Amino acid sequence: MERRDFFTKGFPAYVYKVSSLFVETAGLSENEEKDYFESFYSCYPLLAEAPYDMLVDAANKLGISTEGKDKLTLAKEVFNKKEV
């Protein structure tokens, strides 16, 4: 391999390979599905921005009962119903 080929082809390929192995080893893979509603704090941005009425409307459109449910429960059910 010539010196120019190393810097234009070999080195970038090596960096890509090493970084992708690091991402897999560190558990940072984007393919892993994270539980957004695992805790109140992980889904707080959604709950803070979405008004309760909007969640109720979305739940009604999906046929989900809204009686006696808080924002977190409604958001979980709407999200799970839309995934399927």
Q: Is residue 22 located within the same domain as residue 51?
A: no
On whether both 39 and 75 belong to a single domain, the answer is: yes
Let me know: does 74 contact 55? Beta carbons within 8 Å.
yes
Residues 39, 2 share a domain:
no
Tell whether 60 and 77 lie within a shared domain.
yes
* 61 and 50 inside one domain: yes
First-to-last alpha carbon distance for the chain, in angstroms, is 51
pLDDT in tens, the chain (84 residues): 677 777 777 888 888 888 888 777 766 555 445 667 777 777 888 888 888 999 899 999 999 999 999 998 888 888 888 765
pLDDT the model gives residue 28? 58
Supply the range of the domain harboring residue 25: 1-32
Residues 40 and 75 in one domain: yes
The reply to whether 47 and 82 lie within a common domain is: yes
DSSP secondary structure letters along 30-76:
TTSPP-TTSSTTTSHHHHHHS-HHHHHHHHHHHT---TT--HHHHHH
User: Model-level pTM?
Assistant: 0.52
pLDDT at 64: 92
Res 68: pLDDT = 92
